[in-house]
Structure 1
């Protein structure tokens, strides 16, 4: 492998040394911030050996090379350009400056929620295991596993506690991540989250029931104000807004606070003022907005049914291209945290249908491609990867490049999404949106069965349409 030649060809295809602002690499991709993306020659890049795909996201132009190759090519790129490698965070920061306000907002949500996904996934999958053990009628008629095999009852109780912890104490996770993202002290953010879920407060899960039953809500009487002593367990918006206020207040205080007092006064004032404002009006307002958002999306899904699922399924892959799908993490987290009332997330099953469809399209392309052995190899590997939930190589490396597989994929995704929406398939956990994702699905009411049927529909419809479109394209070229 001539790594220097690959680096030279990539440099030429992206507009030369003068077009590079900053550059770095991760485990599989070159991450470049370019001054003018119009200078990129996509066709030339596609012909370069070992370039498996390219895509633009977060203001960065990313070139997929693969593990074990990217570091060697990057080293040659450093020698050719004379530029020092930036850190991935520096590249991200530079790329963000080139994004519009909407893209910056979506990236902000992504930066906050992506780091806490492992904790949410772990809790969610444990919740799925708990549902398998406790759901009646899943394996035995009108009875659950622990009713038949009572020796597992204690295990189910333990798992239930383990599963609920990340969601009940969600504000602590979000507070830590959000405060850090907004430039404040992450541990102050975690402390603020702890205040919002303090056990002395009325639980957020009991609050709606208390309102419905006209029960008295505990309050603080302070300066003529009546402030509800209600927690924010499982809430997303209140801690997001509160963390922003906390971080900005902390940064403002540090600008003029004497060094001798900074470590004492700044954390004290930041936490006290932010927590007071949160319980006074920030929390109640954002809690209501969160209820409206969650209830509104659930109503839209329930009301739209198969038609709503069809539209969402058709649009999901184009949304992924823009990167806006990262904003769904916040919505899904709220839906799953409120699964007792919402039933779970309808977004996860639809995302799975889209991912399966992208994999099927890439594998169909693998079957119909005859001459381009490089693209054929990328199609086979990326197709399998997409079936397991990782779609970027298939989406950007094959389907968008050939166009007709992408059309087949969004059609298959739409049809399958309509099916799972019609049967109200929902996820009770975040996880891998692909073949292994069944464990995240609510298994009641044949949820697993409809999930697998939906994936089969997504795969078969996409595969057939992609093959037919390839024949149509070949016919047009010949005539």
Structure 2
């Protein structure tokens, strides 16, 4: 394989050196920031055997080349274009400048929550294991595994403690990540998070009951009463407070003498932000967060299957825009308050959509005669079933259009089904076949049936549309020949 030739062809197709603003690569893709994406010669890229697919997201134009190949092509591309070695984070920063305010907001949420997802996933999956051990009627009629085997009780309790840690102390994780994203000291952000879940405060989960009993503890500062309430499992309060902390710290560093900076800046940053958090920011954002969660749960419970169908139909288009990253904050709140919400329905809808994309892509594999598309579809279809849809979505389905339509129909039908049966996840994870372990135990069977519906409907509809598309193409060809 002539990697230099491939790099030159890619460079020519994207508009040359002058159209390339920044470049990096990940495991399988070139990640490029282009000055003008409209001048890209898409047909030329599509004709290249080495190019497995292309898509544009978050201000980046990405070209799928595959593991191993992408490294070598990038080396030559950097030399040919005069680009310095850049990391993917450098390219992300360059791409952010091209985004509109809404896209920048979504990217901000993504930057904050993506780093803490492993902790949430670990806690959520451990919660799922605990549910399997303690859920009655799952394996034994009228009993749970712990009821039938009392010696497992402490194991379940241990797992439950491990599972709850990430959610009980969620403000610490968010405080660290958000303050870092906003330009402040992340360790001050973690300290702010610790302050918000300090054991001297009334546990946030008990706030509602204490409010009804008129038994909420307070600090009395010269006649001003401040509620001593924690923010366990919350998202909006710590996000807002982290922003204030970062900006307060930045402001103070401009005026505090350098000799006193390490002493006074952290002191005043934490004190000012902490005071604002408990007097103003926390109570307001707690109420806003509760209203948002209650509203989403109400919409899900009220609209039922119709709402699920609509969400399922629109989930893949939302992924194309990148707006799905904004769901991370909502899902985190739903999972943090799982006793009240029952879990996240967003994860389940995402899984139905991903399975549908995989089913449609594998239908293309069965029907197409194009060797290059077959090669892409085989790997991309399996990847989508496992929860990674970008190769299928951008490399096959959107390019051919009819499989994308088939996938939307499959996602809509299956999403209506899982919504009807109130299927919810108690953890984040891979939204696809491996997602079974993230699902609430009493709804696992319905989740499996939903995945089967999603795959079958999208697969069959795509085959029907493929035959119609082939017939239409043949008719057009015969008309052109006759003309």
Q: TM-score, normalised by structure 2?
A: 0.97
| Contact 1:312–1:414 under 8 Å retained in 2 | yes
Which residue number corresponds to residue 406 of structure 2? 408
Give the CA deviation at 1:87: 2.2
Match of 1:215 in 2: 214
Counterpart of 1:422? 420
| SS class of match (1:62) | strand
Rounded Cα–Cα distance in structure 2 between residues aligned with 1:49 and 1:267: 56
Question: For the residues of structure 2 that align with 1:79 and 1:349, how far apart are their CA atoms?
Answer: 45
Q: How far off is 1:48 after superposition?
A: 1.3
Counterpart Cα distance in 2 of 1:81 and 1:436: 41
Match of 2:146 in 1: 146
Structure-2 separation of matches of 1:26 and 1:377: 21
Match of 1:91 in 2: 91
Q: In the alignment, what sits opposite 2:226? A: 227
2:309 corresponds to 1:310:
yes
Matches within 5 A, 1:58-77: 58-77=58-77
Equivalent residues of 1:238, 1:286 under 8 A apart: yes
Q: Is the 8 A contact 1:294 1:335 kept in 2?
A: yes
Q: Is the 8 A contact 1:416 1:458 kept in 2?
A: yes
User: What is the match of residue 22 of structure 1?
Assistant: 22
Counterparts of 1:155-194 in structure 2 under 5 Å?
155-194=155-194
Please give the alpha-carbon distance, in whole angstroms, between the structure 2 residues aligned to 1:228 and 1:180: 28
CA distance in 2, matches of 1:209, 1:381: 52
- Secondary structure of 1:432's match? coil
Query: C-alpha separation between the residues in 2 aligned to 1:31 and 1:198?
Result: 43
Q: Which moved more, 1:71-80 or 1:85-94?
A: 85-94
SS at match of 1:21: strand
Are 1:136 and 2:136 an aligned pair? Answer: yes
Write out per-residue CA displacement over residues 368-422 of structure 1, whole angstroms, 9 at most, x where no aligned residue.
111x211111001000010000100000000001100000001100000000000
Deviation at 1:176, TM superposition (A): 0.4
In 1, the alpha carbon distance for the partners of 2:206 and 2:46 equals: 57
Aligned residue for 1:251? 250
Deviations 1:50-96 (A, max 9, x none): 21111111111111111111110011111211221222222111100
CA distance in 1 between counterparts of 2:78 and 2:91 reads 15
1:476 to 472, 476, 483: 472
What is the rounded CA distance, in whole Å, between the counterparts of 1:24 and 1:381 in structure 2?
23
1 CA distance for matches of 2:130 and 2:376?
Answer: 39
* Residue in structure 1 matched with residue 479 of structure 2 by the alignment: none
Which deviates more, 111-120 or 84-93?
84-93
For residues 406 and 94 of structure 2, the distance between their equivalents in structure 1, rounded to whole angstroms, comes to 36
Structure 2 residue 456 is the aligned partner of structure 1 residue 457: no
Shift of the alpha carbon at 1:256? 2.1
Cα distance between partner residues in 2 of 1:103 and 1:36:
18
Partners of 2:124 and 2:232 in 1: CA distance: 16
Contact 1:197 1:232 in 2 (8 A): yes
Instruction: Say if 2:103 is the partner of 1:103.
Output: yes
**2:372 matched to which residue of 1?**
374
1:224 positional shift:
2.3
1:6 and 1:49 in contact (8 A); partners too: no
Write the distance in 2 (CA, Å) between the matches of 1:236 and 1:50.
Answer: 44
SS of residue matched to 1:206: helix
How many residues in Structure 1 have an aligned counterpart in Structure 2?
475
- What CA distance in whole angstroms lies between the structure 2 residues aligned with 1:73 and 1:426? 43
Cα distance in 1 between the residues matched to 2:75 and 2:81: 10
| Cα separation, 2, equivalents of 1:97 and 1:84 | 19
TM-score (norm 1): 0.98
Q: Which consecutive residues of structure 2, in runs of 5 or more, have no partner in the other structure?
A: 476-483
Kindly state the Cα deviation for residue 333 of structure 1 after the two structures are TM-superposed. 0.5
**Equivalents in 2 of 1:164, 1:50: separation in Å?**
46
Stretches (4+) displaced over 2 A: none
Deviates most, 52-61 or 316-325: 52-61
Aligned alpha-carbon RMSD (Å): 0.8
Unaligned 5+ residue runs, structure 1?
none
Structure 1 residue matching 2:61: 3-state secondary structure: strand
3-state SS in 2 of match to 1:205: helix
2:300 aligned residue:
301
Do the aligned residues in 2 keep the contact of 1:378 with 1:398 (CA within 8 Å)? yes
Q: Deviations over 1:196-221 (max 9, x none)?
A: 00011000100012223x23100011
Moved more, 458-467 or 4-13: 4-13
Matching of residues 255-266 of structure 1 within 5 Å:
255-266=254-265
Do 1:22 and 1:85's aligned partners in 2 also have CA atoms closer than 8 Å? no
Residue in 1 aligned with 2:198?
A: 198
